[in-house]
Structure formats: structure tokens, C-alpha cells
Amino acid sequence: MATCNGNGAAEFSSKLQVEAIQTVIPMKITDPRLSRRIAVSENFCSGDLQRRFHMVLYYNKASEADSGWIIAGWFKESLGMAIVESPLFGGRLRKLEDNNDLELVSNDSGVRLVEANAQINMADFIDLKNKENVETELVFWEDIHETNPQFSPLFYVQVTNFKCGGYSIGISCSLFLADPFVMTSFLKNWSQIHNNLISQIDAPKIPAFYTPNLRKVGFLPTISSSLTTRNQTTQTLIFKIPKNLLKINDKFLKNLASKCVGETEGKLGKQLSSKFTLFVKESTNFENVIRVETCIREEIIKEESELIAKSGGLISASWDDLEGDKVSFNEGNKAVNISCWIINEENQDLVMITPSPDEDGSQLNIIIIVTN
């Protein structure tokens, strides 16, 4: 069994080589463009821009015709088709001129697709001691530019080919783009589009964008990736609550956040800071908006406990509730291992409240990210 000491990240980095970086744009122009306003507080800073969700899905080689290179080669088309159905995933942030707020716009700038090669067997990597310290090598991220965010991608896909023929698909996305539940819902839809594409009778065995046939000898892309260790996030807890009978307003959401922080304290057996960042996604007939603000628990008037109880109460959940095992880019080949984590670079706990991605948004998902 492979082991990993304190220098494991550096050792693995020497075994991993990025072979290609591409941009995947939607297969047709988005018209009209979609947008989402992001209302932030006055103390919003650059660290707030870097909050992101990561997921790594590991797949065994399903057949002789299966490989990460072939999967990634088809991504250029299948991902471009998936973005057409969800245009914001190919969008960018921009600053609004009249205030401190931001806006996410579906401007078709695209998603970054990274292909990498790792000189280690996948099973050995999964068995690494302190795997979470090196797993960040399997996801790509470049910090969002603070002054000119319109130039920074919000969504990255990294396909890493292991020595044994297995491969991983690493996902990185800004929390302003998608929460973990929305991101996984997108991945499920994309994988269905992908499988439909390659199942076509006239589909070639080798995709047009097949990196082993395209790369130049002696040429490797220059990268500048922002690798952040997962140690910055100590733990993530997830709760759900049915929306029936709930009167959703600002007061209720703050009380709900405070209650979930209290539940988290009980589960972790320690007291958390009274100050936290509240991240709320709201969708109405008139506006699609994310609100980010700092809250202090002592200043929140707790009057909603009875209403929460009437709704069915809080339900504890986990990363398994994302149903990442339903994301398969080769029909029937399920992920053998899945890792999820959220990076929160600010030294302040984060509470995310977002509606479920189903059509009726029948429940609220509450994600608590406790930082060091």
C-alpha cells in the first residue's frame, strides 16, 4: 500500500503532469443572456470571491475502449451541449458600476477543461495516507481576479489519467455559480447528454479532440494554479428542511441559520464563533439573486423555532445526498470513490441556504462550513 508523509503533496506533484488546457464554450450562442445579481456587504473582500466547491469522482477502466483521454475528448462536445441548457455555467462575474454588488452573466466565455497524467495507480492513490492533503492536485483552480473578475473562469473540469488506466474527474466551481446540490444536478444531466452522444451509431471510436494524437512532442502547457489544502476547512455539515408551511423571509432565514449553527455545535461538541457569513440564494418571479452578509447570532431574534418544528424540523444530511454515484460518463461505470469539500478562505464560518434544484424547490438545503 502506498503511503504519504508530510511531503506527500510535493511527491505526488512530481508524478502528475498537466498535458492540455482547453476552453469549452456552448454549442450555440446564448440569446437572450441570463444573469444573477450577487448582493454583497460593504466588508466584502477578495477572499469571499474564492469560496468554491470541489468534487473528485474516481472511475475504473471499464473496457479496452475506455480511458480518461477518450472521455475528455468527448467532453469538448458533450459539455458544450450541456452548457446550452444551463448557460450560466459558461458565464463570468462582473462588477456593477452603481454599487459594490456583482453580477453573474451568461456571456458564453466557457469552462476550462484540463487533462493530466499521473504516474501512479489509482487504487494506490485512493489508499494514500492523508489523501486529502494531495487530492487538491486532482482539481484545478485559478483565483478569481479581484479587480477584473470578468476574465476569470468560474468552472473547471480536470480529467486525470492514472497509470493503471483508471481516471478521475475533478470539479471546481465558484459558490456564486452553483452550490453542491445544483452542481451535482448539472453533472447528472451532463453525463446523460454525454452518454447519448457517444451511443450514436455513427459516433467515431476516437473523438476529434483526442489529446494523445494532438499534443506536440516536448510541448507542455504552462499553468499557474491556486492549490489550497483542504486543512483550511475543518468540517462541513449539511441539513435539509421542507419548505411547506414555511414563511420564507429574511428574518426566518437568519433564524434558520442560527439554529443550524447551534445544531452544528451539538454535533461537533464545541462552541462556534458568534459571527458567521450568511450566503442565501433566492429565486423569485422577478429576480435571481444571491445575498452575502455577516451575521451575529446574538443580534438574531429567535422566534421561528415553532414554525421550523411544524415544517417537519431539520433533517441531517451528508455528501451522499448529492447522489454523485449517479454521475457516470460511461454507461454503467459508476464512480468507485467520491470526495467532496468546500474551500472557505475567510476565517469566518459560512452558512449557505439554497433551494433544492428540483423544479418545485420543495426543500431548503443548509450547508455549514466550519473553518479553523
93: number of CA atoms within 13 Å, CB side? 27
What type of residue sits at position 34? L
Which residue has cell 444573469? Answer: 35
Tens digit of each residue's pLDDT (9 = 90 or more) over 16-73: 899 999 999 999 999 999 999 999 987 777 788 999 999 999 999 998 888 999 999 9
- Side by side, the strands of the sheet bearing 363-371 are 92-95, 102-105, 35-40, 288-296, 275-283, 349-355, 363-371, 233-242, 315-317
Distances 336 to 123, 328, 344 between C-alpha atoms, Å: 10, 11, 27
Q: What angle (nearest 5°) sits at the alpha carbon of residue 346, between those of residues 292 and 353?
A: 35
DSSP states along 56-70: EEEE---STT--HHH
* Burial (CB count <10 Å: 0-12, 13-18, 19+), residue 303: exposed
Separation of alpha carbons 228 and 343, rounded Å: 8
pLDDT(109) > 70: yes
- The closest of 148, 34, 140, 155 to 89, measured between CA atoms, is 155
Distance CA 95, CA 149 (A): 7
C-alpha count within 13 angstroms, C-beta hemisphere, residue 95 = 14
Least confident stretch, 38-52, 112-126, 185-199: 38-52
User: What are the residues facing 294 on neighbouring strands?
Assistant: 277
Helices (H), ranges, the chain: 8-13, 46-49, 68-85, 122-126, 180-198, 211-214, 250-268, 305-310
Dist. CA 247–CA 236, nearest whole Å: 27
CA pair distance 202, 139, nearest whole angstrom: 33
**What pLDDT digit, counting tens, does each position of 214-232 carry?**
765 555 555 545 444 444 4
Cα dihedral 98/101/107/112 (nearest 10): 140
Q: Which amino acid is at 155?
A: F
Lowest mean pLDDT among 145-154, 197-206, 322-331: 197-206
pLDDT at 212: 76
- Residue 24, class by beta-carbon neighbours within 10 Å (0-12 exposed, 13-18 middle, 19+ buried)? buried
- % of the chain with per-residue pLDDT over 90: 65
Any bridge partners for residue 371, and if so which?
233
What is the Cα–Cα distance from 140 to 143, expressed in whole angstroms? 10
Label residue 74 by pLDDT band (50, 70, 90). very high
d(CA 185, CA 86) in angstroms, rounded, equals 11
Q: How many CA atoms lie within 13 A of 306 on its CB side?
A: 1
DSSP-assigned letters across all residues of 78-98: HHHHHHHHSGGGG-EEEE-SS
Whose cell is 466588508? That residue is 43
Q: pLDDT for 165-176, tens place per residue?
A: 999 999 999 999
Q: What is the pLDDT of residue 46?
A: 74
DSSP secondary structure, 167-196, as one string:
EEEEEEEETTT--HHHHHHHHHHHHHHHHH
Return the higher-pLDDT residue of 175 and 306.
Answer: 175
Q: For the stretch 291-300, what's the b/e string if a residue is b when 16 or more beta carbons lie within 10 angstroms of its beta carbon? A: bbbebebeeb
Residue 107, SS3? Answer: coil
